[in-house]
Chain A
Amino acid sequence: MREAASVRASPRGRLARLRAAAFPAIAFRSGAARGPADSPPSSGAPESSAGSQPGSGRPGSPPDRPRPGSWWRIASRWHLALPRLPRLLPLRRGWRRRLRLLSDRWSRSLQLRVVTATLVLSAVVVSVLGYVLMQHLVTELYDVKVQSSVNIADAGLASASGIAAFNEERNSSTRQAMHDLAKQLASTGVTPYALEVTLPAADQGPPVYSAGWAVGFYRSPPALPQALVRKLLTESAAHRSPWQVWTSMAVASGPTPVPGLLIGASFGYDDLYQLYYFFPLAAEQHSIASMQRTLLLVGVAVVFLLVAIVWLVTRWVVIPVRLAAQGARRLSTGQLNERMEVRGTDELAALATSFNEMAASLQEKLQELEDLSQVQRQFVSDVSHELRTPLTTIRIASDVLFAARQEMDAAAGRSAELMQSQLERFESLLTDLLEISRYDANAATLDAEAVDVCAIVRQSADVAQQLAERRGTKIEFRLPAEPCIAEVDRRRVERILRNLLLNAVEHGENRDTVVTAAMDSAAVAVSVRDFGVGLAPGEEQLVFDRFWRADPARARTSGGTGLGLSIALEDARLHGGWLEAWGEPGRGSVFRLTLPRTAHGELPGSPLPLNPYAAGLDTAELPGLADLTLTAAADDTSRSGAHPHAVARGDDAGGPVEPATSAGPGGPRAADGAAADAAGSEVAARG
């Protein structure tokens, strides 16, 4: 009675509170009412999107009930419900490096890619399946609930209509009847609310509650959605079936509003009375939440199980592949006995078998090659011995004949001379050929010891010095004062330098040869410079070819075998060193030998420049070149663009050019003006 009185006493205040309780008048129409579990409702959120449920036969759109028409909302809720993936790596510090590591790992590990793909795909599939399943379950659940609720409401309405007190004009017994009705209709979980309500005059303002009785609400009378009340008042006469709306109300269990289904209908005399039922959906919500949890758990478990299975399966496949890769790597480093374990008869076993066959055949081939090399080596050795012994006899015989040539007649004497000289040539050719074939058979060995390379430079110059003397030229040494100690094979280095020096003197066009040596912490270098015809572009490589000749028409003067530079290159390579050539037509050539200072050491660079011009060396310091470059430059400018060609100096005219002084390396050596003039006049440019 007290509650009813209060309703009547301040209907406006009640309604104000209703509004404040976030049940906006048209919530049921817009479907935008917030669920109770969401953030606190804002009182001033009247809905304007009246057409959000176009064509819907139902007056309200339940805010908490997932319906096919509101997929997006449900989807968004489900999205929030999905477990968030933990961050795989803390990328704050050094994230760039980690990212690179990860991407490296990603591109290198098939297993990682497969497992990740499985994780992503199975997560998507399980999510979709779970969503559909959940959707279905929820729909079923709510449909059942709605049906039973409507049935209860219908029954209640029928019994209410049958009460006589309501079918006549209001009188004193009506209030009691309402009380009785509410009490009569109340049963477990059912909250009837019978009330009398009228529209205010001229349909303005909120409906006017004159009396009411409710059972099972937290506060009585409960706040009702005003719009529903008004709707029942104005429209219910047309069709007498109950209206329903999804809303939240505070029931007996506590002050917090719980979501539920509110069903209301008008009845009685002049539809003056209204009966409401509120069916809380707490139980349904609870079961839905529990189903959600279960589904989520199962989904996550399924995903992880799948990932684990895929991880295991790929491991199964990947491990033999990895083993094969490892085996192949070991095989490639020369461990020819590497084999894979063959288990079963499946594809992996086939892989292992093929791998083993490959390894075996590789081993066999290598063995064959090794045998062949051994045979070759033995052959070289045998040829060496077999050829050398008779050659020795011939040689000594020739010596004897040569010594006695004065006693022979002219023809026989000359023959003895020719035989002697050609035997020498034959000998050096044989020596060189055997040396080359030793390299070809990989039979050359390095016999390294710590020696002074600069001393070797001087020692190996003797033969070239003799040739230079015969030609009236000089070999100028520019060697560092301190010894250039390096671990080298003395015999081979001597041979290289002897070859380079002879080559330089021979092709020096009767100009001097400059030998420079330098050393740094890792390497020792010797460069041999001549100022002869030089090398045409591309010939820097060709000079090291076997039997290569710059000019096939040109006769050999010093009887080189044509193998000298090839052998020198091989000798340098055996040391782990470099032998390089530089040359320009008319500017002479440079051969630079660079050797590591420790046997089998690494060469970071050479202490000497290869191209003397690129290094910014003053050409004036080079003996005999000042005039040469002068005229070459003049030649160049007079015939613009033409390549400066070899500038030869007639032997008869000037003879060999003597260096003005013998200043040390780097010492300035100004060209004598008169000499330069004289030289210039003697020069004839070749076209």
Chain B
Amino acid sequence: MKGRVLVVDDDIALAEMLGIVLRGEGFEPSFVYDGDKAMEVFREFRPDLVLLDLMLPGMDGIDVCRQIRAESGVPIVMLTAKSDTVDVVLGLESGADDYIVKPFQSKVLIARVRARLRRTDDPAPETLTIGDVTIDVAGHSVHRAGEPLNLTPLEFDLLVALARKPRQVFTREVLLEQVWGYRHAADTRLVNVHVQRLRAKIERDPERPEIVVTVRGVGYKAGPG
């Protein structure tokens, strides 16, 4: 099982504690304490998942997040001490897949990490189509009118979840459970932000979406009408 986790956090005690827990769960952690060195270690270590503190000395966590996202679709889970909307949304918009607000329980951390790594199980060959977007589930690729689209694993999961049941309306809570693996109601901003990111990639006009459509007051669905 892939289990290389890069912990980017300036707090040495916390990093060490996270290391203990991750090792206990069979992951292989590596640590960076400085934002400036994060990319270097990231390229070297090639982690399967990044735990990223938002407040870092040197380069800001947000910038680290953007740089990682520019190079790779690897799952990023933010660790943040701020639960304010602005900070969370900024983190999510810069490319993080999920976030955990400090202080958190170790089992929550492990659950999130596992949820983000889970989708590596090999799916059966399957092809889905919404509008002019074609999804090869097994091949993990998405095309629009023959053009390949570059989606992160999370965006891909989100799109697949919606596309498997076209025209069915998914509430944000259901999506949180199916895509993010949350059992209980959690922050629906995760869904909002990632739907926006997904639309920016797959829609012809993200202002007037045709593939992932908002159902006011309820949630989202795939396909028009």
Contact residues of A with B, CB < 8 Å? 381, 384-385, 388-397, 399-400, 427, 438, 443, 445, 447, 449-452, 455, 459-460, 462, 483, 485, 490-491, 494
Can you offer 9 A-B residue contacts whose CB atoms are under 8 A?
A391-B103, A393-B17, A394-B103, A396-B21, A396-B104, A445-B85, A460-B185, A483-B217, A491-B187
Is B132 located at the chain interface by the 8 A CB criterion?
no
Is B106 located at the chain interface by the 8 A CB criterion?
yes
User: In the docked arrangement, what's the CA distance between A384 and B81, Å?
Assistant: 6
Which of A395, A396, A450 gathers most chain B CB within 10 Å? A396
User: In the docked arrangement, what's the CA distance between A460 and B186, Å?
Assistant: 10
Q: Which residues of A contact B104 (CB under 8 A)?
A: 392, 395-396
Is B107 located at the chain interface by the 8 A CB criterion?
yes
User: In the docked arrangement, what's the CA distance between A658 and B106, Å?
Assistant: 39
| B184/A462 in contact, CB under 8 A | yes
Known: A390-B13, A455-B171, A483-B217. A396 touches B85 (CB 8 A): no
Majority SS at the chain B contact face: mixed
| A389/B14 in contact, CB under 8 A | yes
Q: Which residues of B contact A393 (CB under 8 A)?
A: 11, 13-14, 17
Q: Which residues of A contact B217 (CB under 8 A)?
A: 450-452, 483, 485
Count how many chain B residues have C-beta atoms less than 8 Å from C-beta atoms of the other chain. Answer: 34
Is B165 located at the chain interface by the 8 A CB criterion?
no
| A485/B216 in contact, CB under 8 A | yes
Given contacts A391-B103, A452-B217, 4 further A-B contacts (CB under 8 A): A385-B81, A388-B103, A462-B184, A491-B187
Nearest CB of A to B13, in Å: 5
Q: Which residues of B contact A392 (CB under 8 A)?
A: 14, 17, 79, 102-104
Which of B81, B84, B86, B171 gathers most chain A CB within 10 Å? B81
Q: Which residues of B contact A385 (CB under 8 A)?
A: 55, 81-82
A-B pairs under 8 A by CB, number: 80
Contact of B216 among A394, A438, A445, A450 (CB under 8 A): A450
Chain B, residues 57-90, CB within 8 Å of chain A (1/0): the string is 0000000000000000000000101101110000
Nearest residue, chain B, Cβ from A444: B84
Nearest residue, chain B, Cβ from A389: B11
Nearest CB of B to A601, in Å: 16
Nearest residue, chain B, Cβ from A426: B103
User: In the docked arrangement, what's the CA distance between A393 and B103, Å?
Assistant: 8
Q: Which residues of A contact B171 (CB under 8 A)?
A: 455
Q: Which residues of B contact A381 (CB under 8 A)?
A: 82
Nearest residue, chain A, Cβ from B24: A400
User: In the docked arrangement, what's the CA distance between A452 and B185, Å?
Assistant: 14
5 closest Cβ contacts across the A-B interface? A485-B217, A385-B81, A388-B102, A399-B106, A388-B81
Nearest CB of A to B93, in Å: 14
Contact of B105 among A399, A443, A485, A490 (CB under 8 A): A399
Q: Which residues of A contact B200 (CB under 8 A)?
A: none
Is B113 located at the chain interface by the 8 A CB criterion?
no
Nearest CB of B to A549, in Å: 26
Is B138 located at the chain interface by the 8 A CB criterion?
no
Q: Which residues of A contact B8 (CB under 8 A)?
A: none
Nearest CB of A to B107, in Å: 7
Chain B, residues 179-220, CB within 8 Å of chain A (1/0): the string is 000001101110010000000000000000000000011100
Contact of B102 among A391, A438, A452 (CB under 8 A): A391
| A389/B81 in contact, CB under 8 A | yes
Nearest CB of A to B11, in Å: 5
Q: Which residues of B contact A397 (CB under 8 A)?
A: 17
Q: Which residues of A contact B192 (CB under 8 A)?
A: 449
Which of B173, B187, B216 gathers most chain A CB within 10 Å? B216
Q: Which residues of B contact A483 (CB under 8 A)?
A: 217-218
| B105/A396 in contact, CB under 8 A | yes
Known: A385-B55, A450-B217. A445 touches B82 (CB 8 A): no
Chain B, residues 139-170, CB within 8 Å of chain A (1/0): the string is 00000000000000000000000000000000
Nearest CB of B to A215, in Å: 115
Is B20 located at the chain interface by the 8 A CB criterion?
yes
Q: Which residues of A contact B185 (CB under 8 A)?
A: 459-460, 462, 494
| A447/B14 in contact, CB under 8 A | no
